[in-house]
């Protein structure tokens, strides 16, 4: 589970959270989930469905669940909610395991 406060800089011309911000947040949850064992994985395919507009002052939460895993790939369901547990977006990410270790910075 990761969290992100929504700031003014993340808002678009419609006074809602820019879709790219929500996507990047979900993609970060995918990266943390798929690389947490120390074995590196990269995104192969990602799909997002936006269900509710976020706004400045919200706190987004991402919860990632491993759906399926093979020797070379894995699929994750990621749910983005706000502080009121309202669904903001549903993200599905498929990763490819690149047979390397995660590099610590």
> Where are the chain's structural domains?
2-101
Helical segments of 16-86, H only: 19-35
Residue 96 clears pLDDT 80, i.e. is over it: yes
Confirm or reject CATH 3.10.200.10 for domain 2-101, answering yes or no.
Answer: no
Q: Report how far Cα 39 is from the mean position of its chain's Cα atoms.
A: 19
CA distance 10 to 54: 10
pTM: 0.94
Residue 4: phi and psi, rounded to 5, are -150, 125
User: What is the Rg, in whole angstroms, of the alpha carbon atoms belonging to the chain?
Assistant: 14
pLDDT tens, residue by residue, 25-54: 999 999 999 999 889 999 999 999 999 999
Helices (H), strands (E): how many in the chain? 1, 5
């Amino acid at each position: 589970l990761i969290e992100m406060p929504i700031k003014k800089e993340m808002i678009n011309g419609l006074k809602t959270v820019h879709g790219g911000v929500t996507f990047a947040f979900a993609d970060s949850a995918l990266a943390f989930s798929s690389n947490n064992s120390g074995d590196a994985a990269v995104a192969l395919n990602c799909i997002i469905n936006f269900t509710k507009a976020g706004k400045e002052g919200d706190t987004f939460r991402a919860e990632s669940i491993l759906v399926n895993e093979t020797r070379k790939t894995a699929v994750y369901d990621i749910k983005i909610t706000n502080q009121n547990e309202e669904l903001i977006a549903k993200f599905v990410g498929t990763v490819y395991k690149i047979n390397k270790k995660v590099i610590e910075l």
